[in-house]
Amino acid sequence: MKTIEERKIILGTEIIKLQKEGWLVNDRTDTTCQFTKDMGPNGCLGVILCLLFLLPGILYFIFAKNTKTLFISINENGECDKKIQGEKEKYVVDNTRYDYIDKNGKIKKDYHPDVAKKYNWTRI
């Protein structure tokens, strides 16, 4: 279980990543955020319209807008749920680090649990 403060930090990290990718923040709460991104017109459709009907193709490129909306939320376990126009992607955003002991008895400081699992280290 993550506290609200930890969930705010995880959400803040996700917001920064998404803003670097061109997403704009529309609304934000402590554990959720809504983004939009202008994707522009569909190039294939525009080319087909230009080949078949020149004027509609040109008008399509001028006036068509394709905006995506992204919703993210951080649940109690620190998992980030992303939803983009009907798609659902779920993954864990966990920046937790621990100290471990490897098989030879050497202490490994500040490693993510996935790394320890890969090398079969024991948590201290």
For residue 42, give the DSSP letter: -
- CA distances to 30, 40, 98 from 3, rounded to whole Å, are 11, 39, 18
Lookup: tokens for 38:
């202008």
The span from the CA of 15 to the CA of 33, in Å, is 8
Closest residue by Cα to residue 2 from 74, 73, 99 = 74
Query: Is residue 94 within 8 Å of residue 77, measured between CB atoms?
Result: no
Q: How far is CA 119 from the centre of its chain?
A: 28
pLDDT digits (tens, 9 = 90+) for 42-97: 778 778 888 888 887 788 777 777 788 888 888 888 888 888 765 554 444 555 66
pLDDT for 81 equals 82
Residue 107: what pLDDT? Answer: 81
Partners of residue 37 on adjacent β-strands: 68
